Amino acid sequence: MATQHSRAAARFMISPSVLLLLGWMLIPLGMTIYFSLLRYNLLMPGEHPFVGWENYSYFLSDPAFKTALINTLLLVVGVLIITVVGGVLLGLLLDQAMWGQGIVRILVIAPFFVMPTVSALVWKNMFMNPVNGLFAYAAKFLGLQPYDFLSQAPLMSIIGIVSWQWLPFATLILLTAMQSLDQEQLEAAEMDGAGPFSRFFYITVPHLSRAVTVVILIQTIFLLSIFAEILVTTNGGPGNASTNLTYLVYAESLLRFDVGTGSAGGVVAIVLANIVAIFLMRMIGKNLDA
């Protein structure tokens, strides 16, 4: 593809797909921004007058916004900590040779294949339910008061459910990274007098840094937009104790039928996600350089 002619031809040939992708992205984004500047409520049919930043000031000054923002960050950070630490520990365990290794590995990875709505429902009704749940049964068996997880600690419960879903992903990536560690390096460290903990912290952990970076980046993308688990379990409540930004946007546009404010919330979410992305890349992006 070196000559000028072939390069021009190449550009011409890829242009349809580029234009299609661009349209796919830009049209919804443009419409969201456009709607966010209108007074557009489905309960008030008729005109959609241009109102400038009104929707934004309304959304940002809503007390639920601050709560949702904090909840979003807590959810992302909480799940990241649990999955990365748990993934490293599980990976270490699964890296050992043991009987039934193949089956155990499949069992560990299984939660990832369960749909978010299904797993959230299973957790809500079969584990966390204060009357029929397994945890309630266990508490009663021990003579304790059953704990109503979803009303007493809604955000923590959702963090638990989401962590359960994402732990397999982190485990899988970290396990493969561990298996790619040169055994001679560990042996050399052993000869050099490093005990098991020193070997783990000086050799294994630095080797895992790149895999951890990948896990954090990919999970952050998906965790910022957690929705199904909240809808199925708590509906963002009690109050707005488990409402994150995604759920708040949903509530504005589809529960209160306020398309304008919902769109403004969507744009705010995009901006915040990009801020998070910039910080993440600053902090850990250097790990990805070879």
Partner 1 sequence: MGRITLDKVTKSFGEVQVIPPLDLTIDEGEFVVFVGPSGCGKSTLLRLIAGLEDITSGQIRIDRQDATHVPPAKRGLAMVFQSYALYPHMSVRKNIAFPLKMAKMDPAERDRRVDYAAKVLNLTDYMDRRPGQLSGGQRQRVAIGRAIVREPAAFLFDEPLSNLDAALRVNMRLEISELHNTLKTTMIYVTHDQVEAMTMADKIVVLHAGRIEQVGSPLELYHTPRNTFVAGFIGSPKMNLIEGPEAEKHDAHTIGIRPEHLDTSAESGLWEGRVGVSEHLGSDTFFHVHDTGLAEMLTVRASGEVALRHGDKIFLTPQMDKLHRFDAQGLRIA
What is the spatial distance between Cα 161 and Cα 116, in angstroms, rounded to a whole number? 9
Provide φ and ψ at 38, rounded to 5°.
Answer: -110, 155
The CB-side HSE value for 88 (13 A sphere, CA atoms) comes to 19
Q: State in angstroms the smallest separation of the CB of 170 from partner 1.
A: 21
Strands (E), 96-149: none
Among 41, 209, 220, 235, binds partner 1 (CB under 8 A): 209
What 8-state DSSP symbol labels residue 194? -
Instruction: Please identify which residue in the block is written with the tokens 């970290």.
Output: 174
Q: Which stretch binds partner 1 (CB under 8 A): 23-31, 133-141, 189-197, 261-269?
A: 189-197
Binding of residue 185 to partner 1 (CB under 8 A) = yes
Beta-carbon neighbour count of residue 10 at 10 Å?
11
- Candidates 45, 46, 100, 193; binder of partner 1 (CB under 8 A) is 193
- Point out which span in 73-81, 106-114, 206-214, 265-273 binds partner 1 (CB under 8 A): 206-214
Q: Which of 61, 97, 191, 282 binds partner 1 (CB under 8 A)?
A: 191
Residue 63 vs 193, nearer CB to partner 1: 193
Q: Does 85 bind partner 1 (CB under 8 A)?
A: no
- Specify the 3-state DSSP secondary structure of 136: helix
Identify which range of 10-18, 70-78, 162-170, 184-192 contacts partner 1 by CB under 8 A: 184-192
Q: Name which of 232, 216, 236, 235 is nearest 224 in CA terms.
A: 216
Told to check if 179 binds partner 1 by CB under 8 A, we report no
CA distance 221 to 236: 20
Q: In this chain, which stretch among 95-103, 130-138, 178-186, 275-283 interacts with partner 1, using CB under 8 A?
A: 178-186
Q: How far is the CB of 188 from partner 1 (least distance, A)?
A: 4
Q: Is 196 in the site for partner 1 (CB under 8 A)?
A: no
The piece of 16-24, 199-207, 265-273, 278-286 that touches partner 1 (CB under 8 A) is 199-207
* Residue choice 101, 132, 180, 198 for contact with partner 1 (CB under 8 A): 198
Beta-carbon contacts of 188 under 8 Å, excluding residues fewer than 6 positions away, are none
Tokens of 75: 């959810």
Which residue lies nearer to partner 1 by CB, 124 or 199?
Answer: 199
Nearer to partner 1, 47 or 184 (CB): 184
Residue 201 or 279: the one with the smaller Cβ distance to partner 1 is 201
How many residues contact partner 1, by CB under 8 A? Answer: 17
Judged by CB under 8 A, the residue of 3, 45, 61, 184 near partner 1 is: 184
Tell me how many degrees the CA angle 139-229-248 measures, rounded to the nearest 5: 120
- d(CA 89, CA 108) in angstroms, rounded, equals 13
Q: How many helices (H) and strands (E) does the chain have?
A: 14, 0
147 to 137, 251, 272: CA distances (angstroms): 10, 28, 35
Where does this chain bind partner 1 (CB under 8 A)?
A: 182, 184-185, 187-194, 198, 202-203, 206-207, 209
